[in-house]
Amino acid sequence: MEKTVQATIQLDGETVNFATGETIYEIASRADKFIPTLCYDPRLQPFGACRLCVVELKGSKNPVASCTLKATPNMEVTTTSERIEKFRKTLLELVTSENPTIAVSPLRSYASQELSLLVERYAADTQRFAGEHSGHSRLDDKNPFLLRDYDLCISCYRCVRVCAEQEGDYAISVMNRGFHTQITTEFNGILKDSACTFCGQCVQTCPTGALGDKKALRFAE
């Protein structure tokens, strides 16, 4: 069996051990360093879509995504600074600018509060970049299990990826680009006509409540 190589990096001025293949985000999380993210799920392959996890790397002109960058010996990384925090706040304001609702019921899903908690933490102005809107809800999908409120979607693709990577169903995918981006099923139909098994994995990973558990919501009414 191949041995895991141990080495160190400088993380916020501290010497931290890491194993071959670990990302900066994984190392920072182990070291109890807070790095925000919206597209990250530890069960999934790193995606780097939301860019909230950026950090400063000595020798790099621009911030780098910590969830996709694998550590190499003697890296010098800064996980938080005035520049990085300003960058993250602006990104949050861009993300939320097209969301009509930020605060949703925690009963929608396990991860549904992630966006609202970050907005609160950074005191993000959700109306700063208000304008165009992408994603349209499928409230016409009358299945009894999954709410598809895509007006709250931020295109993190966690739902699409968990369906493919964890369940192997590939029941949902992404249609179009830019402001026309839409999470959808094959032929843009309803879930019962797709390969969906209603396992609920997509609901539980959604960080905004765009996907919700109808049964839990009905129970609370």
1: buried, middle or exposed (CB in 10 Å: 19+, 13-18, 0-12)? exposed
CATH code assigned at 161 = 3.30.70.20
Answer yes or no: do 152 and 213 share one domain. yes
CATH code assigned at 50 = 3.10.20.740
94, part of any domain: no
Tokens, residue 192? 């019962």
Answer yes or no: do 139 and 210 share one domain. yes
144, part of any domain: yes
117, part of any domain: no
Q: How far apart are CA 11 and CA 196, in angstroms?
A: 42
Summarize pLDDT for 54-108 with one digit per residue, the tens.
Answer: 999 999 999 999 999 999 999 999 999 999 999 999 999 999 988 888 999 999 9
22, part of any domain: yes
Instruction: Give this prediction's pTM.
Output: 0.89
pLDDT over 70 at 1, yes or no: no
- Among the residues of 24-134, which ranges form H helices? 24-30, 82-96, 114-122
pLDDT over 90, % of the chain? 81
pLDDT over 70 at 220, yes or no: no
Instruction: Kindly report the average pLDDT of the chain as a whole number.
Output: 92
98, part of any domain: no
- Best-predicted range by mean pLDDT (132-136, 155-159, 179-183): 155-159
Tokens, residue 41? 């799920």
Expressed as residue numbers, the domain containing 74 is: 6-80
pLDDT over 60 at 43, yes or no: yes
CB contact burial 132-167 (16+ within 10 A = b; e otherwise): eebbeebeebeeebbbbbbbbbbbbbbbbbbbbeee
